[in-house]
């Protein structure tokens, strides 16, 4: 079901991109797709167990992220981009060893729609520019809790839930224009304060991506 929703969202973005490309000036509209390693930083105090006197948190924070986006270049040094990002999966497990034994674990996935303001500056090296970006992102964090042994969820507490928030993001990178219609971009982005500040905790994520950009004529 999650893959179907993502496919629908990507299809909607492609449709919007095609419509925009026919309505705007040549070479100012572009589309892109990127993929690369991601890391979700899980706070060390996540998944506190009431009554536990000894416990340890294990974290699996590395995954693979991907994004699709459309951009409009307002001038040679400024562009606006909108898109959809999937930051991959993460997992955390807190194991209690005293006074009893048991564990609580959480599987999470962060996705979101974003809008970025992108600044570009030529380096003096032919066709290479450095970029910086600042934007906002509407995140959706899907979480699933599980327990073992003496650890259990409070009565009435859901084991599966979605958290939606508006957050901000920033990033930097470099772009190489290898033709009038195509470019390659390597970039790092930090996504801030995703999820609710509850016992599970907020998280932040980094995405290191290699992106292909195509300009429309």
**Tens-digit pLDDT string for the chain (217 aa):** 555 455 445 555 545 545 444 444 456 999 999 999 999 998 888 888 989 999 999 999 999 999 999 999 999 899 999 999 999 999 999 999 999 999 999 999 999 999 999 999 999 888 999 999 999 999 999 889 999 999 998 888 888 888 898 999 999 999 999 998 999 999 999 999 887 766 566 789 999 999 999 998 7
| This model's pTM is above 0.75 | yes
Q: What is the pLDDT of residue 124?
A: 85
Q: What is the pLDDT of residue 153?
A: 87
Q: Give CA–CA dist 1/211, Å, rounded.
A: 26
Rounded to the nearest 5°, which phi and psi values hold at 159? -95, -20
Cβ neighbours of residue 160 closer than 8 Å, sequence gap 6 or more: 142, 143, 144, 145
Rounded to whole angstroms, how far apart are CA atoms 37 and 147?
A: 29
Helices (H), the chain: 2-23
pLDDT at position 11 is 54
Domains and CATH numbers, the chain: 2-215 (2.40.160.20)
Q: Kindly report the backbone phi and psi dihedral angles of residue 44, in degrees, each rounded to the nearest multiple of 5, phi listed first.
A: -70, -20
Task: Pull the structure tokens for residue 14.
Answer: 């492609």
């Amino acid at each position: 079901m999650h893959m179907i929703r993502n496919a629908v969202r990507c299809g909607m973005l492609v449709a919007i991109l095609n419509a925009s490309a026919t309505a705007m000036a040549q070479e100012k509209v572009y589309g892109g797709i990127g993929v690369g390693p991601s890391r979700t930083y899980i706070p060390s105090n996540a998944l506190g167990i009431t009554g536990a006197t000894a416990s340890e948190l294990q974290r699996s924070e590395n995954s693979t992220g991907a994004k699709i986006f459309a951009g409009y270049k307002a001038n040679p040094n400024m562009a606006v981009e909108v898109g959809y990002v999937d930051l991959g999966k993460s997992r955390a497990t807190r194991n209690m060893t005293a006074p009893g034994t048991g564990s609580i674990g959480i599987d999470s996935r962060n996705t979101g729609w974003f809008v970025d303001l992108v600044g570009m500056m030529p380096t003096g090296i032919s066709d290479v520019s450095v970029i910086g970006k600042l934007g906002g992102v509407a995140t959706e964090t899907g979480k699933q809790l599980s327990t073992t042994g003496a650890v259990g969820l409070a009565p009435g507490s859901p084991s599966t839930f979605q958290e939606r928030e508006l957050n901000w993001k920033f990033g930097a990178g470099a772009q190489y224009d290898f033709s009038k219609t195509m470019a390659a971009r390597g970039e790092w982005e930090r996504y801030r304060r995703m999820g609710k500040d509850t016992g599970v905790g907020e998280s932040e994520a980094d995405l290191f991506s290699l992106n292909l950009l195509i300009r429309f004529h």
